[in-house]
Structure 1
Amino acid sequence: MASVSASHLIIFIASILVAASVAGTITSTVGQLSDAVDDLGVDASQEVRTEIEIISDSGAQVYDREGNGNITLYVKNTGSQRLPADGVGMDVIVDGIYRTDVSMTVVDGSVWRPGTVVRMGISIPDLQSGDHRVQLTIYGDREVFEFNT
């Protein structure tokens, strides 16, 4: 009789240990999932508040052939938040090639606030004649500008 009680006690203790470890694992997983949902919410909020518009005229001369070989674009912040005017967070792709030699200057102020414009210079000294495409992406907002040299 005592051996039955001892074996039941051992099985009961093992069941409690297994249940506690499963509960700990589930709690940890739920915490990680909650953190991931919070991060996605912040990213989505930033994407919704970010919007830019390339306001350069595609028929105008945007490439400086005689000077330093820059593509000059004017980009307006049409969203509801400030954007970095130093190019941080902005991806610039010209004719399918990622470009890093990019300069930005706020035209009407010192901060790229909603409603203000930046002058963007993309250095490409060896741009050939023909049709070209510039894609700007910042915080999920993408704008495409096509021009001819």
Structure 2
Amino acid sequence: MASVSASHLILFIASMVIAAGVAGTFTQGISRLSQGIDDQSLEVSEEVRTDIEIISDAGSPVYNNSTNTVTLLVKNTGTADIPADSQFIEILVDGQYRTNVTVTVVDGEEWRPNNVVRLEIGGADLSSGDHRAKIIVNGDEEVFAFRV
């Protein structure tokens, strides 16, 4: 009888050790998953709060032939502040990524909701005809079609 209870005790202890190891692994995995969800929700919240509109008039001359510069006015219509810095704004003109961009806040010091920035996109040697500029900020995309 003593040998049966000793073997039961050994099996019980082994099962408790295995259960503790499994529980520790699950706890660590759930903690990582929770952290990932928190990080993702912050990004999604920022994207949802970001909204821009290109308010330049398509009929007005937005392209300067002598300086090869496209000038666009963009309004922050979202609820979040957006850094008025070209590293936070992606710009494509006729499908080509542009890095020669000057950002100037027109009505204030920061690009807050309802404020406007002037984007001066340099190095855009455009021929006569129809063109498109795409502006991307925090996943929000706006396309502006214009004619030179």
Q: Normalised by the size of structure 2, how large is the TM-score?
A: 0.90
Q: CA separation in 2, counterparts of 1:57 and 1:9?
A: 83
Structure 1 unaligned segments of length 5 or more: list them: none
Displacement of 1:2: 4.0
Residue identity (%): 55
Residue identity opposite 2:140 in structure 1 = D
Q: CA separation in 2, counterparts of 1:70 and 1:133?
A: 14
Counterpart position of 2:131: 132
Structure 2 unaligned segments of length 5 or more: list them: none
More displaced 10-residue stretch of structure 1: 4-13 or 45-54: 4-13
Q: CA separation in 2, counterparts of 1:125 and 1:41?
A: 37
Residue identity opposite 2:28 in structure 1 = S
Q: Normalised by the size of structure 1, how large is the TM-score?
A: 0.89
CA contact (8 A) 2:53 2:77 kept: yes
Per the alignment, do residues 125 and 93 of structure 1 end up closer, same or farther by CA in structure 2, a change over 3 Å counting? Answer: closer
Tell me the matched-pair count.
148
Q: CA separation in 2, counterparts of 1:4 and 1:119?
A: 84
Displacement of 1:7: 2.8
More displaced 10-residue stretch of structure 1: 38-47 or 138-147: 38-47
- Residues 95-106 of structure 1: pairs in structure 2 closer than 5 A: 95-106=94-105
Residue identity opposite 2:41 in structure 1 = G
Counterpart position of 2:52: 52
RMSD: 1.6
Per the alignment, do residues 141 and 25 of structure 1 end up closer, same or farther by CA in structure 2, a change over 3 Å counting? Answer: same
Counterpart position of 2:11: 11
Counterpart position of 1:65: 65
Residue identity opposite 1:8 in structure 2 = H
1:77-115 per-residue CA deviation (whole Å, 9 max, x = no partner) reads 111221111123221122222222211001122111111
Counterpart position of 1:90: 89
Q: CA separation in 2, counterparts of 1:2 and 1:66?
A: 100
Displacement of 1:26: 1.0
- SS of aligned partner of 1:85: coil
